């Protein structure tokens, strides 16, 4: 019984007369696969550009929040001036013998043995030629302004580099240079100090957004032309493939016809209709500048009603997704027809 059922089944044998057609179909398949993937990459890149614009925020400029200015303080009425204290009577001038002794000591000549090098503090704070009494500089009458200037200079001291430190630094440099010369004459390798690498300038968020916008725009412009041309060439290649399969009376005609019609629907979404019908801008390869402009309006709060948002997502996201589905289904049907028409006849 099993043998009778096997006899009734149709047996498909390789068709020797179909070999020239099979060779032609293989060549067409190579170019069809090439144009298919080029077109798919172009459409996917446009869909990814919308995702990076709407959800990633790659081209958004962050808003700078301005802190509210503090309120002006309310004017406060000035407090009444306190009464001036009563003048205290000046103490009578004392007739002490101490000023007379000081003047006598200042007028007396200084012996040579008493002359010595002034200390560091005296050289910095006391000018040369100022008389001293028991180590305390005597201030002449009317020197109040000079004392004020000297007090201000003491409050803001300056760094003084001693001469000994400068000389020791020069000696160290000369010793290092001499050691380097000796090492070079002996053929030894001298380790040179590493110079710090130049730091790259940090880009601001505005500059980053502008940079990414320019890069994306330069990528999408040529892909628009390449996508339209490759989809047109893919349709021509698939049509030629179907004609060769019909001429050779090969199998898989149903799948190939279905693939061709799905590709025609895809081609309708790719054509730049704005060049044919004025104001009709529905296209898979949309205008990226227009997309960013509408996105900025949405960020500013001008989202429009429900239908405006639906048109926005249908134009920039829905149509590319539909095109990807149509192209993928056409590719699957073409692969099935290739198996029926070529692989079965090898």
pLDDT digits (tens, 9 = 90+) for 233-289: 999 999 999 999 998 888 889 999 999 999 999 999 998 887 777 777 788 999 899
71-80, 225-234, 335-344 — which one is most confidently predicted on average?
225-234
Task: Give the pLDDT of residue 35.
Answer: 97
Q: How confident is the model at residue 156 (pLDDT cuts 50, 70, 90)?
A: very low
Query: Are 338 and 252 spatial neighbours (Cβ–Cβ below 8 Å)?
Result: yes
Does 308 score more than 70 pLDDT? yes
- Domain assignment present for 179: no
Tens digit of pLDDT for each residue in 52-100?
999 998 888 765 444 444 544 555 555 545 454 544 444 444 444 455 5
In angstroms, rounded to a whole number, what is the distance separating the alpha carbons of residues 224 and 283?
Answer: 10
User: Do the domain assignments include residue 163?
Assistant: no
Q: What is the mean pLDDT of residues 306-320?
A: 91
Mean pLDDT of the chain, nearest integer: 73
3-class secondary-structure state, position 132: strand
Half-sphere exposure of 308 (CA within 13 A, CB side): 8
Contact 269, 284 (CB under 8 A): yes
Residue 78 domain-assigned (yes or no): no
Residue 138 is assigned to a structural domain of this protein: no
In-domain check, residue 326: yes
Output the DSSP codes for 11-30.
Answer: -----GGGHHHHHHHHHHHH
Of 336 and 205, the one with more pLDDT: 336
Nearest Cα to Cα of residue 25 among 240, 233, 231: 240
pLDDT of residue 291: 92
pLDDT top residue among 194 and 67: 194
CB 345 within 8 A of CB 15: yes
- Number of structural domains (the chain) is 1
> What is the distance between the alpha carbons of residues 143 and 151, in angstroms, rounded to a whole number?
12
Supply the DSSP symbol for 117.
P
Lowest mean pLDDT among 18-32, 152-166, 167-181: 152-166
186 in a domain, yes or no? no
Ranges 14-18, 178-182, 187-191, 242-246, most confident:
242-246
Q: Is 71 or 212 the better-scoring residue by pLDDT?
A: 212
Answer whether residue 184 shows pLDDT above 80: no
| Residue range 92-115: mean pLDDT, rounded | 48
Distance, CA of 57 to chain centre? 13
Would 331 be classed as within a structural domain?
yes
In a domain, 144, yes or no: no
Q: Has residue 231 got a pLDDT over 70?
A: yes
| Pair of tokens at residue 215 | 């890069």
The pLDDT, as a whole number, for residue 63 is 57
**H-assigned helices in 108-162:** 120-125, 144-155
pLDDT higher than 70, residue 138: no
Nearest to 338 by CA among 269, 274, 254: 254
pLDDT at res. 39: 96
**Counts for the chain of helices (H) and strands (E), in that order:** 11, 2
Q: Which domain holds residue 312?
A: 14-61+205-345
What confidence category does residue 19 fall into, taking pLDDT thresholds of 50, 70 and 90?
Answer: confident
Q: Are 245 and 253 in contact (CB under 8 A)?
A: yes
């Amino acid at each position: 019984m099993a043998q009778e059922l096997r006899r009734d089944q149709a047996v498909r044998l390789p068709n020797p007369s179909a070999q020239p057609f099979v060779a032609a179909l293989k060549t067409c398949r190579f170019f069809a696969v090439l144009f298919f993937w080029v077109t798919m990459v172009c459409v996917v890149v446009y869909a990814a550009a919308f995702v990076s614009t709407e959800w990633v925020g790659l081209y958004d400029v962050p808003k700078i929040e301005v802190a509210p200015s503090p309120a002006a303080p309310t004017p406060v009425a000035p407090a009444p001036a306190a009464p001036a204290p009563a003048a205290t009577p000046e103490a009578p001038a004392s007739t002490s013998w101490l000023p007379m002794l000081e003047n006598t000591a200042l007028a007396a000549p200084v012996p040579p043995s008493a002359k010595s090098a002034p200390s560091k503090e005296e050289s910095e704070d006391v000018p040369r030629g100022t008389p001293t009494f028991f180590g305390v500089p005597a201030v002449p009458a009317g020197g109040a302004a000079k004392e004020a200037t000297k007090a201000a200079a003491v409050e803001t001291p300056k760094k003084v580099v001693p001469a000994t430190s400068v000389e020791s630094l020069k000696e160290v440099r000369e010793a290092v240079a001499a050691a380097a010369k000796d090492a070079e004459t002996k053929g030894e390798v001298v380790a040179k100090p590493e110079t710090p690498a130049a730091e790259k300038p940090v880009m601001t968020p505005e500059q980053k957004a502008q940079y990414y916008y320019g890069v994306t725009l330069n990528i999408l412009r040529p892909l628009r032309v390449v996508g339209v041309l490759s989809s047109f060439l893919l349709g021509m290649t698939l049509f030629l493939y179907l004609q060769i399969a019909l001429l050779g009376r090969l199998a898989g005609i149903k799948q190939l016809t279905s693939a061709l019609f799905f590709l025609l629907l895809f081609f309708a979404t790719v054509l730049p209709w704005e060049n044919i019908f004025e104001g009709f801008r529905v296209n898979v390869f949309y205008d990226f500048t227009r997309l960013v402009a509408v996105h900025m309006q949405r960020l500013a709060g001008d989202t429009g009603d429900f239908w405006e948002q639906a048109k926005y997502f249908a134009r920039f996201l829905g149509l590319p997704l539909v095109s990807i589905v149509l192209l993928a289904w056409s590719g699957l049907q073409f692969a099935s027809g290739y198996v029926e028409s070529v692989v079965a006849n090898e």
